[in-house]
Copies of this chain bind each other. A is one copy, B any other.
Amino acid sequence: MTTLRQAVASEMPRAIEDLKAYCGQPSVAAQNLGIADTVELVRRLFTEEGARVDVLENGGGNPILHVEFEGPSERTLLFYDHYDVQPPEPLEEWTTPPFEPVVRDGRLFARGSSDNKGDLICRLAAVRALKRVYGHVPCRVKFLIEGEEEVGSPTFAGSVERYKDRFQADACIWEFGMKDETERPLLYGGLKGICYLQFTVRTMDVDLHSSMAPIVHNPAWRLVWALASLKGPDGRVLIPGFYENAGGPTDRDLAYIERIPWDVAEFKRYHGIRELWQERGGRTLSVPEMVRDYLFEPTCTICGLEAGYAGPGTKTVLPREASAKVDFRLVGRMSPQEVLQKVRAHLDSLGYDDIQVESLGPEHPYQTSLENPFVDLVWQTAKEAYGKDPVLYPTAAGSGPMYPVGNILEVPIISTGCSYWGSGAHAPDENIRLEDFEQGAFHMALLLERFGTTSEERRRQG
C-alpha cells in the first residue's frame, strides 16, 4: 500500500504546475489587479477536486471563498488562506518577472509563492494525497480563502460574523510558517495587530520653484518634523499613551522565547543587514532579547515616503504635497482605533492639524491559548513530518485577521506553512523551496490524518 509520504511525493508534479498557474495569475488587492480571474482559478481548482465551493459576498470587498470537503469524522479542520498578494514593486529588482513563475535551483520564484499561494496548493496537495491513500479525507476540511489580507482585510471581520455557521470548526491552521536559518519549522500561536496610516500634507495647489522656500510652508518639511515627533532616534515611540495597553510577554511566553534559536550571522548575511537594532552603539547581542523585541514590541515603521522629485540629478522644486505610509504593529490589548486616535491627538497638539491621517486596514492583535491539545497535535505532526523539533513562537511578528477568526469562531489557531528564511515575502524575488513545499504538504496530510483519527478514536471511546 502507498504510504502517505509516497502519496504526497506523487502529487508534487501536479501541485507545482498548479502553483505556477496560481502565481502566474496576478492578484494585487492594493492595485485591484486580477481579482475576479483569481477567484475563478481557485474555485475551479477546488471544484475539480470534488469540493463544494461557494464564492461569498464580502461587504463590498473582494469575495471570500468557502471550500468544503466532507469526511467521515464530524470534526472539522479549518484552513485560513488568502488569494491576494503584495504589490510586486520595485519591478526592476526581480531577476525574472514577478508574475511569470519559474523554478531555479529547486526554488519557485514568483510574487505570492511564499505569501501565501504556496501554502494553499500545499494544503490542496495534502487533500489529494489523503484521497489517494484512503479514498477520502479523514475529517471534514474547510478553507476560508479571502482576498484582502495584504490590504488589512477591511471588511473581513464583519464577514466572519455573518458566515460564522459556515465556517464553524474545531481548530484552525493559519496561512503561513517557515523554516528558520537553523532549518527548523516554525509554528506560531498568534499575530500582532496593525494600524496602517497614510499621512498626507499639502500646503498649496502647485509645485513651486524652490527659491520660494523662505516664504511658503514646505509640506515635506512638515511631514519630516511630524514623523520625527512620532518616534525618536532611540527607537522609543513618543506618542503619549502609545505603550499603555502593550502589556508584554508572560513568563510562559518568555520560556518559549528562550527556546527560539536564531542563526543571527546567517540572517544578517542573507539580507545584507549591516547591523541589528539590538547591536547599535556596539552592544553585545542577546538573542532572547532580540526575539522578545521582535515578538512583543509594538512598532512604528515608515513603509514609504514620497515628495517632490526623486529622479536622477537635480530638480529645484518645492513640492506642493508630501506623504508617508506608516505601519504600527500592535501587541497585547492595543487596538488600531486607539492608536489612530492617539496619533491624531498628538499631531494636533503639536500644530500639525493640517496633516491628514487616513487609516488603511486596521487589525487587532491575537494570541491563541497554548494549553489547547491542538497546539500539541500540530507540534507533534510537524516533528514527524520534518524530522526535527519545531519551534513554537507564542506569537508572530506579522499581522493578519486572526482576531475575528479566533474570537468569533472560537477555535484554537496555529500558523504553519512551507516558506523558509530566504523566502523574501513582500520583497523582490519572493520564492519557496520545492523541498519545503513537499514537506509542508506532508505535514498537512499527517495533521489531517491524525485529526480525523483522533476524532474517530474519540467517537469510539465516546
Contact surface of A with B, Cβ cutoff 8 Å: 29-31, 86-87, 89-90, 150-152, 192, 194, 196, 203-218, 220-221, 223-225, 227-228, 231-233, 271-278, 280, 290, 293-294, 297, 299-320, 322-323, 325, 327, 329, 354, 360-361, 396-399, 424-428
Chain B residues with CB under 8 Å of A192's CB are 211
Could you pull out 16 A-B pairs where Cβ atoms are within 8 angstroms? A150-B314, A204-B272, A208-B426, A211-B397, A214-B299, A215-B278, A215-B293, A215-B294, A224-B224, A272-B320, A274-B354, A303-B308, A305-B306, A308-B325, A315-B426, A316-B327
Tell me which of B87, B277, B426 contacts A214 (CB under 8 A): B277
Docked pose: A153 CA to B31 CA in angstroms = 41
CA distance A294 to B196 in the complex (A): 39
Complex-state Cα separation, A345 to B429, whole angstroms: 38
Contact A275 B217 (CB under 8 A): yes
Contact across chains for B315 and A325 when beta carbons are under 8 A apart: yes
Of the listed residues A207, A280, A300, A320, the one surrounded by the most CB atoms of chain B closer than 10 A to its CB is A207
Q: Do A221 and B211 have beta carbons less than 8 Å apart?
A: no
Question: Are A207 and B354 touching (Cβ within 8 A)?
Answer: no
Decide: A313 and B30 in contact? CB cutoff 8 A: yes
Residue of B nearest to A221 (CB): B302
Given A192-B211, A223-B305, A305-B307; 17 other pairs, CB 8 A cutoff: A31-B311, A87-B313, A89-B309, A151-B314, A196-B314, A196-B316, A205-B273, A207-B427, A211-B396, A214-B297, A216-B273, A303-B314, A303-B317, A304-B307, A304-B317, A305-B306, A317-B426
Tell me which of B31, B203, B225, B319 contacts A274 (CB under 8 A): B203
